[in-house]
Amino acid sequence: MTLQAFIELQAIKIDTKIGNYAPGSARPEEHPLSLVLSIDPKLVLIEEDSMQNVFDYDLLLLEIQRLAADQHYETQERLITRIVKACAVYAEIISLEITLRKQPALNDSGSLGVRLCMDRAELNRV
């Protein structure tokens, strides 16, 4: 098996406004975000317990929070695009998988999501 390392953010409820809804129609109450970042295993298997030896994701999380609250979005896709661009800045990220959902989706149940997977070559194009 090949050695791989991931940073995972799962089903975090971000504070954002997405979509335009007719009066009286159901509005999603939550927008959970999941993000899986593939990174160099050398940033996980470390000899010294020091932040200098790991991928410091705190600044990225702050940027995601800022982007989510930055504006009202018509689509989940636009917020995903902005988050991907924020991730692309970090050379440590080898690939990513991002999922943004809105819930409830229909009849006060379920969720509807958009998922995107990208490797480093695609991140470089962004």
pLDDT of residue 23: 67
37-92 confidence digits (pLDDT tens): 999 999 999 999 999 999 999 999 999 999 999 999 999 999 999 999 999 999 99
- Mean pLDDT, the chain, rounded, equals 92
Domain coordinates in residue numbering, the chain:
5-125
- Give, for 113, the enclosing helix (H) or strand (E): strand 112-119
Q: Which CATH class is domain 5-125?
A: alpha beta
Q: Is the pLDDT of residue 114 over 70?
A: yes
3-state secondary structure of 90: coil
| 3-state DSSP of 24-63 | CCCCCCECEEEEEEEECHHHCCCCCCCHHHCCCCHHHHHH
Does the model's pTM come out above 0.85? yes
Instruction: Provide the token pair at 14.
Output: 């971000």
